[in-house]
């Protein structure tokens, strides 16, 4: 399935499921294609025919963006290597949950849970390991006794109770032996959170241009936490305890206007502010909902609260 057709299908499914979606970011080698929101759930979506096309660098930025935007990254594709993605199975690419279009439809539209995930050597399920231990104790079964019935070692049972991967066949047999439902559904958002919690944050401005370093350093001096991006339509995400701002840095030109419109669409769905700090002469106050600020205007702003007030005043005045 070609990229455009796949993207259209994914967007249609999410809209059918009640999600609002942003415009798509059509530049090659970007970290995400678009964002989608339903109630409190925000998704950062990447759509690829072959999920192996997601690079380590793009996945890293995608996960960190999800952290700052309080969302979850999700990769939707058709195959991995030379094999089609199985329906009802969650794969992972650099820690990002990855599913096919049919699974996307079943999960978000038909509300069919995902139980199976692909791992090294095959397919696995998650089980309630604490319940497994509790039921084994309640039935007065030793590790060895359960291991004999299951046809595995005592060490395997111990590791299952510690949370080790369990094959589908083993999990089903465990349920039959203990007469208890142990298999648990997977949560795409929670799976993303596990990976995001493992990320190490480090702000490095050394690869940026002088003007980008200057502006983002100024933002940090105001009290913002700044995450620079290289594969997004904005140059950074700037946050404080009250606000999240998609921050662009550019000369005022036609390309910047297109980016500002796109960032406005993303910001609207992500429920953030959006601003472009611009080198140039006479500027409109905003492009759609993206506020434009002249570089020299930053010198009038003392802190992050003042910066947000400045944005709101520009939005309101239209000047």
Distance in angstroms (rounded) separating the CA atoms of residues 33 and 13: 15
Closest CA to 222 of 248, 242, 201, 200: 242
Query: Residue 307 is part of which domain span?
Result: 210-317
* CATH code of the domain covering residue 150: 1.10.260.40
Contacts of 113 (CB under 8 A, 6+ apart): 107, 185, 186
pLDDT tens string 162-206: 988 899 999 999 999 999 999 999 998 776 555 544 454 556 777
The answer on pLDDT for 1 being more than 80 is no
| Domain presence at residue 203 | no
| Domain presence at residue 15 | yes
**The predicted structure's pLDDT at residue 275:** 97
Q: How far is CA 104 from the centre of its chain?
A: 15
pTM for the whole thing?
0.90
Phi, psi of 137 (to 5 degrees): -65, -45
pLDDT tens string 83-109: 999 999 999 999 999 999 999 999 999
**The predicted structure's pLDDT at residue 279:** 82
Q: How many domains does the chain have?
A: 3
Distance in angstroms (rounded) separating the CA atoms of residues 286 and 319: 8
Inter-CA distances, 228 with 72, 213, 225, 249, 271, Å: 19, 10, 10, 11, 19
Distance in angstroms (rounded) separating the CA atoms of residues 8 and 26: 13
The verdict on 103 and 132 lying in the same domain is no
The verdict on 191 and 46 lying in the same domain is yes
pLDDT tens string 221-276: 999 999 999 999 999 999 998 999 999 999 999 999 999 999 999 999 999 999 99
Contacts of 36 (CB under 8 A, 6+ apart): 14, 19, 20, 21, 22, 42, 43, 45, 269
């Amino acid at each position: 399935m070609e990229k455009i057709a796949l993207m259209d299908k994914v967007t249609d499914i999410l809209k059918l499921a009640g999600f609002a979606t942003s415009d798509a970011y059509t530049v090659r080698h970007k970290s995400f294609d678009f964002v989608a929101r339903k109630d409190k759930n925000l998704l950062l979506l990447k759509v690829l025919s072959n999920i192996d096309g997601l690079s380590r660098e793009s996945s890293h930025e995608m996960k960190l963006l999800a952290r700052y935007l309080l969302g979850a990254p999700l990769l939707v594709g058709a195959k991995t290597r030379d094999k089609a993605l199985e329906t009802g199975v969650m794969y992972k690419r650099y820690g990002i949950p990855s599913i096919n279009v049919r699974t996307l439809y079943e999960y978000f539209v038909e509300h069919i849970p995902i139980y199976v995930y692909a791992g090294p050597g095959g397919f696995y399920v998650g089980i309630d390991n604490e319940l497994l231990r509790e039921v084994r104790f309640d039935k007065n079964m030793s590790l060895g006794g359960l291991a004999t019935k299951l046809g595995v070692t005592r060490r395997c049972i111990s590791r299952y109770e510690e949370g080790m991967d369990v094959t589908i066949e083993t999990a089903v047999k465990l349920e039959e032996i203990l007469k208890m439902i142990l298999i648990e559904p997977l949560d795409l958002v929670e799976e993303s959170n596990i990976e995001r919690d493992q990320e190490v944050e480090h702000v490095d401005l050394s690869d940026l241009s002088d003007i980008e370093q200057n502006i983002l350093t100024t933002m940090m001096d105001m009290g913002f936490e700044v995450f620079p991006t290289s594969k997004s339509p904005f140059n950074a995400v700037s946050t404080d305890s009250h606000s999240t701002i998609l921050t662009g840095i550019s000369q005022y030109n036609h390309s910047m206007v297109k980016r500002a419109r796109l960032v406005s669409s993303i910001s609207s769905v992500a429920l953030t502010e959006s601003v472009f700090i611009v080198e140039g002469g006479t500027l409109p106050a905003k492009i759609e909902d993206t506020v434009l600020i002249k570089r020299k205007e930053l010198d009038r702003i003392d802190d992050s609260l003042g910066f947000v007030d400045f944005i709101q005043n520009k939005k309101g005045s239209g000047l």
